[in-house]
Amino acid sequence: MIWSLLTAVIAVAVRGATTATAGPSGCVSFDVNWNLLAFGVNGKDYNAGTQDTWTSSSSLTDITTQGRPPFNAGNATCYLSQFTNAIYVLNADSANPSSIYIYDAAAKSWSRQTVDAGKFDPTNFATILDHDTNVFYSYSDGELFSLDMGLLKAANSTPIPWVDVQQPDLSVDQTGAAVPGANTAGYQPVMALAQNHVHFLGVPGMPAGSAKIFVIHFSYMQPAPQSYGNFPTSHGKTASFFLDAGVQQEFAYIPDDGSATYVINVEVSQIFTKYSNTLVYPCGQKNTTKTLTGPPQQDPFASYSASTSALVQLTTSGKVAFLPYQPSSTTSGGTWTTISKIPIASASGNSSNGTAISSGNTPADSTGNNSTNTTKNSSAGTSSTRMGSQSLICALTAVALAVAGVVAL
Ligand SMILES: *[C@@H]1O[C@H](CO)[C@@H](O)[C@H](O)[C@H]1NC(C)=O
Ligand SMILES: *[C@@H]1O[C@H](CO)[C@@H](O)[C@H](O)[C@H]1NC(C)=O
Ligand SMILES: *[C@@H]1O[C@H](CO)[C@@H](O)[C@H](O)[C@H]1NC(C)=O
Ligand SMILES: *[C@@H]1O[C@H](CO)[C@@H](O)[C@H](O)[C@H]1NC(C)=O
Ligand SMILES: *[C@@H]1O[C@H](CO)[C@@H](O)[C@H](O)[C@H]1NC(C)=O
Ligand SMILES: *[C@@H]1O[C@H](CO)[C@@H](O)[C@H](O)[C@H]1NC(C)=O
Ligand SMILES: *[C@@H]1O[C@H](CO)[C@@H](O)[C@H](O)[C@H]1NC(C)=O
Ligand SMILES: *[C@@H]1O[C@H](CO)[C@@H](O)[C@H](O)[C@H]1NC(C)=O
């Protein structure tokens, strides 16, 4: 009791001190049954149940237990390992900045995995957890690193190293051509995962709607960027939508200004551009990005997590909101709604008062009033995914090639 009180006080104090430059001290994630887990909010951890119960006051379970990280570092992020039903938590312990905390969602237990950081800088990185290999890939100070979590749902006593993979060439020019050796120093990484490919967004000079791709299974950085449609080349946050089984095929990208939520489906585009320099070149123009409503709070430090059917935002001040999303739907996603049953730190802690970010943050009211516009823009997000006649030709060509054994779809 005293310990958890202390933890709460420390978390609140640190949150107050770091809100100007750091994201949330806690994080949100899911277990494999798509229960929403909120860690390190209000000094506690909660299971908020499945999506159908998020807006009701019931089904909020306090899952705070021993061995949990102090959630006092800022910029915490967490990742579901779908094979193990474990959540890996980074940046949750200022005394052990490179440690990875592991929450076994089935056993409801915590452990701390020590890490041999090497050249990896735990205060400056972006990362993804690859679905199939359970390996983290991160970009830190211009270097790509990997860290193999094996099939861990409890910490191993041997430290796990961040392995230096390569110095990726992320440079491009406006025509989309690679510019080897060009300067990307100072690039604030935006990494997204889909189809076991790491997508780098917001690379300076890259054409809008493009991503540089690192192919995990071949440890290969594709020289030319891939075009996915329309979204800005800017810094932002991402979260991959899970499937009940198999690799993620699409991810959400929220630019720092929170002006929109872009959902990029890499699957469609990859089929259509597989032979982009030969037969099906025009197919490379296919726009596979849906443009959905931006989050209710425009917090550039907010973190995001996605299930199979929702995108969840956690703001620096500890507010949680979600956007329902149906991958198969060609219409826009649903409406952002605040999950008010998850308590925020300021409710009991007298900390950031829910308005932590002074610049560039224009929070809606706590009920998410601004996110309840139910008038759907019927053209938003659909125009880009409808299949025109040219795309149909492309599709038929691709299928014909597949049947002929030329292309493996
Ligand atoms: C948190 O992340 C921001 C960039 O998003 C960075 O400027 C800041 O130094 C980080 N703070 C900590 C404590 O890691
Ligand atoms: C709570 O916040 C108020 C207003 O900022 C301040 O006057 C008060 O001292 C704070 N209380 C505690 C316990 O920090
Ligand atoms: C919290 O907000 C209230 C009302 O806006 C304000 O009076 C108070 O000073 C704030 N407290 C802190 C700690 O910022
Ligand atoms: C939400 O907005 C509506 C319309 O502007 C307003 O009538 C209502 O009072 C607001 N709700 C809250 C809780 O502020
Ligand atoms: C909602 O957003 C609009 C436009 O951004 C703004 O004028 C308004 O004050 C916000 N709040 C509410 C409760 O509507
Ligand atoms: C709701 O959204 C629609 C479509 O984007 C827009 O035309 C309408 O003005 C919005 N209504 C309000 C109250 O913001
Ligand atoms: C609806 O979305 C389309 C396509 O994104 C856009 O061109 C149009 O301006 C939007 N209309 C409204 C009312 O938001
Ligand atoms: C791509 O889709 C976006 C979002 O729907 C839309 O705003 C944009 O105009 C589309 N671009 C093209 C070239 O069709």
Residue 174 shares a structural domain with residue 149: no
Task: Cite the DSSP H helix spans in 152-304.
Answer: 266-273
Q: Is there a domain that residue 373 lies in?
A: yes
Tokens matching residue 36? 């929403």
C-alpha 156/C-alpha 73 separation (Å) is 23
Residue 9 shares a structural domain with residue 127: yes
Q: What is the pLDDT of residue 326?
A: 85
Q: Is there a domain that residue 387 lies in?
A: yes
Q: Is the pLDDT of residue 85 over 50?
A: yes
Confidence of residue 262 (pLDDT cuts 50, 70, 90): very high
Residue 58 shares a structural domain with residue 116: yes
Q: What is the pLDDT of residue 78?
A: 97
Q: Is the pLDDT of residue 376 over 50?
A: no
| CA-to-CA dists, residue 11 to 3, 94, 135, 303, 362, angstroms | 12, 11, 29, 17, 24
- SS3 label, residue 308: coil
In this structure, the residues whose C-beta lies within 6 A of any atom of ligand 7 are 291, 377, 379-380, 383
Q: Is there a domain that residue 27 lies in?
A: yes
* Segment 238-262 mean pLDDT: 96
Ligand 4 probe mutation, 369, 370, 373, most atoms within 8 A of CB: 369
Confidence of residue 401 (pLDDT cuts 50, 70, 90): low
Q: Is the pLDDT of residue 17 over 60?
A: no
* Segment 109-138 mean pLDDT: 97
- State in Å: Cα 369 to ligand 4 middle: 6
Pick the closest to residue 43 from 17, 23, 15 (CA basis): 15
- Chain centroid to Cα 118, Å, comes to 25
Q: Is there a domain that residue 107 lies in?
A: yes
Residue 136 shares a structural domain with residue 182: no
Higher pLDDT, 204 or 112: 112
* Segment 349-357 mean pLDDT: 34
* Contact call for residues 264 and 229 (beta carbons, < 8 A): yes
Supply the range of the domain harboring residue 16. Answer: 1-161+350-359
Residue 293 shares a structural domain with residue 407: yes
* Contact call for residues 41 and 314 (beta carbons, < 8 A): yes
Q: How many domains does the chain have?
A: 2
Q: What is the pLDDT of residue 402?
A: 52
C-alpha 172/C-alpha 177 separation (Å) is 5
Strand partners, 190: 201
* Contact call for residues 271 and 409 (beta carbons, < 8 A): yes
Q: Is there a domain that residue 279 lies in?
A: yes
Higher pLDDT, 36 or 204: 36
Say if ligand 1 is within 6 A of residue 315 CB.
Answer: no
Q: What is the pLDDT of residue 99?
A: 98
Percent residues over pLDDT 70 in the chain: 70
Ligand nearest to the CA of 317: 3
Q: Is there a domain that residue 333 lies in?
A: no
Residue 154 shares a structural domain with residue 178: no
Q: What is the pLDDT of residue 117?
A: 97
Confidence of residue 173 (pLDDT cuts 50, 70, 90): low
C-alpha 244/C-alpha 340 separation (Å) is 27
* Contact call for residues 210 and 242 (beta carbons, < 8 A): no
Residue 227 shares a structural domain with residue 355: no
Q: Between the CA atoms of 318, 11, 25 and 325, what dihedral angle is there, to the nearest 10 degrees?
A: -30
Q: Between the CA atoms of 147, 153, 154 and 160, what dihedral angle is there, to the nearest 10 degrees?
A: -10
Residue 64 shares a structural domain with residue 149: yes
C-alpha 348/C-alpha 278 separation (Å) is 62
Say if ligand 1 is within 6 A of residue 213 CB.
Answer: no
Q: What is the pLDDT of residue 91?
A: 97
* Segment 108-133 mean pLDDT: 97
Confidence of residue 101 (pLDDT cuts 50, 70, 90): very high
- State in Å: Cα 13 to ligand 2 middle: 12
Ligand nearest to the CA of 293: 6
Residue 243 shares a structural domain with residue 101: no
Confidence of residue 67 (pLDDT cuts 50, 70, 90): very high
Q: Is there a domain that residue 185 lies in?
A: yes
Percent residues over pLDDT 90 in the chain: 59
Higher pLDDT, 377 or 96: 96
- Please write the tens of the pLDDT for every residue from 306-351: 999 999 999 999 999 999 998 766 666 679 999 999 997 643 333 3
Beta strands across the sheet bearing 163-166: 126-129, 135-140, 143-148, 163-166
Confidence of residue 229 (pLDDT cuts 50, 70, 90): confident
Which position has the token pair 């800022």? 74
Q: Is the pLDDT of residue 360 over 60?
A: no
* Segment 162-167 mean pLDDT: 94
- State in Å: Cα 353 to ligand 3 middle: 6
Pick the closest to residue 64 from 84, 38, 46 (CA basis): 46
The whole-chain average pLDDT of the chain stands at: 79
Q: Is there a domain that residue 200 lies in?
A: yes
Ligand 8 probe mutation, 272, 283, 285, 287, most atoms within 8 A of CB: 287
Q: What are phi and psi of 270, to 5 degrees?
A: -65, -40
